[in-house]
Amino acid sequence: MNKTLAVFGWIFFGLIMGVGLMRFISTHQELDELATETARPERTADGRIALYYTAEDRMHISDEMLGFLQGLQTISGAIAEEDRETIRDAAGALRRGNGQGQAVQLKSPEGFRVLGRSLRQDFGTMSDMAMTADMDELQLVVSDAMGKCVACHGSYKAVEVEDPAAD
């Protein structure tokens, strides 16, 4: 009699534990899913620091970047041809942003901003040196500038998010 009760007891206990455990696991899974949907991890899967930008921010960055790439192409051609005016003008045009990058600047970490500013300064230096410096000196400044492209792209990655104001 006691034995039968004990068996029932264990079955009862097992049932409660089983259900309880299942409920615990499913809640846990739901929480995990919720976290991955809403959280903004500090790093992307490849280990770079994630920067959360809206589609509009990304468009602005892309425009600037394509301007950098095009400018560097013009400048490296002009160095080969010793065309000083072109170096001065192309680098001078990249000395400053167009002033529309405020939102991006505010959302970006200090390291990102420093790299961006330093790159702008390199373009300024190129422009200032263009009429007088040796071409290999100019080439060295170009190389310095490109080091900043590499550094930023290696450290940071843009991740698109919805604009909270659009909701």
Q: Which residues bind ligand HEC (CB under 6 A)?
A: 53, 58, 61-62, 65-66, 68-69, 72, 112, 115-116, 119, 145, 148-149, 152-153, 156, 158
The least CB distance from residue 42 to ligand HEC, in Å, is 15
Whether residue 22 contacts residue 14, with contact meaning beta carbons closer than 8 Å, is answered with no
CA distance 144 to 140: 6
40-54 burial code (b ≥16 CB/10 A, e <16): eeeeeeeeeebbebb
The least CB distance from residue 63 to ligand HEC, in Å, is 8
The least CB distance from residue 114 to ligand HEC, in Å, is 8
Between 28 and 153, CB nearer to ligand HEC = 153
Between 88 and 148, CB nearer to ligand HEC = 148
**Residue whose C-alpha is closest to residue 103's, from 67, 58, 138, 147:** 58
